[in-house]
Amino acid sequence: MTEAICWFNGEMMPASAARVSVLDHGLLYGDGVFEGIRFYNGRALRLSRHIDRLFRSAAAIRLAAPYDAGALDMAVHDTISAYGQDRGYLRLVVTRGVGKLGLDPSACQRPNVFIIADQLAMMSETVRHAGARTIIAATRRLGADGLDPRIKSLNYLNHILARMEAGNAGADEAILLNAVGHVAEGTADNIFIVRHGKLLTPPCCDGALEGITREIIFELAQELGIDCTETTLGPYDLYTADECFLTGTGAELVPVREVDGRPLGSCPGRIFFMLQTAFQKLIERETMARRLSALRK
């Protein structure tokens, strides 16, 4: 197995050798932002969209990254090259940096930035083929009035607690509701359902992350002539869906076969297969084109 690699503040090293101070506010208080990025054929998928979102998250918490978009783009490419595998997963993290004990971040002198390249399999191939068993978690998604869901912060504790609920129930994933009982998202993925041939997904105002893969599904649905709408959903909508699936950079596309013990009408369903096929073609089209372009330079 290839060893995980880490680009840490401009230096490349084995991930096992990278060190963050115990006084870093990212560790102490979850004060920082991150992006999860997939790469295929040695090229990061939708890298500019990920970096844009990272800077938006950082701006929202008044965190000034010490590298610009161009430098991070180059760092990502260098990390993939050093890792030496065609496919894998990247975690790009910006922490507030070392400061004094206490919540006040004003003493933090310089943010830390690191990129980890490794493999990530959120669900087994068996689950990907047969579909995920899900539960609706008792743990709720933090509301936008507390922490805007568009910010990918380092604080994922409520998602971790929901994922623990799924594990305790023998399920593969948990679905979080918001404070008023509307469907928000999975612990690390967006959620879509199909009803009467139409694709439905929760809006960001209900607690859904502005997922990059979610965005790709909107594009592919339009290309395939599938009606795709953001709309508020409740547990009833999940229980009675014709199809349901999860999307995310880590998860990619995963069909859902069961919600709270209720089997769904079709898994994997026709719409899922259409989108899954189109998604794989998009990956090859976008990453191979970038690789060929780089080779010609």
Note the Cα 57 to chain centre separation in Å: 14
Catalytic amino acids?
Answer: 152
Q: Which of 96, 184, 195, 172 is nearest to 140 (CA)?
A: 184
Tens-digit pLDDT profile for residues 96-112: 999 999 999 999 989 99
Task: Identify the architecture of domain 125-282 in CATH.
Answer: Alpha-Beta Barrel (3.20)
- Distance CA(84)–CA(18), nearest Å, equals 18
Least reliable range by pLDDT among 131-135, 141-145, 182-186, 291-295: 291-295
CATH of 5-118, one of 3.40.50.1820, 3.40.50.300, 3.30.470.10, 2.40.240.20: 3.30.470.10
- The helix (H) or strand (E) run that includes residue 295 is helix 270-296
Q: Which residues contact 12 (CB under 8 A, 6 or more apart)?
A: 5, 6, 78, 79, 82
Report the pLDDT value the prediction gives residue 1, as an integer from 0 to 100. 72
DSSP 207: T
Tens-digit pLDDT profile for residues 165-217: 999 999 999 999 999 999 999 999 999 999 999 999 999 999 999 999 999 99
Lookup: tokens for 201: 């997904």
Tens-digit pLDDT profile for residues 37-48: 999 999 999 999
5-118 and 125-282 share one fold: no
For the chain, the domains span 5-118, 125-282
CB 87, CB 116: distance < 8 Å: no
Give 210-214 contacts, CB < 8 A, sequence gap 24+: 210/53, 210/149, 210/150, 211/247, 211/248, 211/249, 212/46, 212/49, 212/50, 212/53, 212/249, 213/247, 213/248, 213/249, 213/251, 213/252, 213/253, 214/190, 214/247, 214/248
Report the pLDDT value the prediction gives residue 147, as an integer from 0 to 100. 86
CB 152, CB 47: distance < 8 Å: no
**Which residue, chain included where needed, has tokens 């339009």?**
222
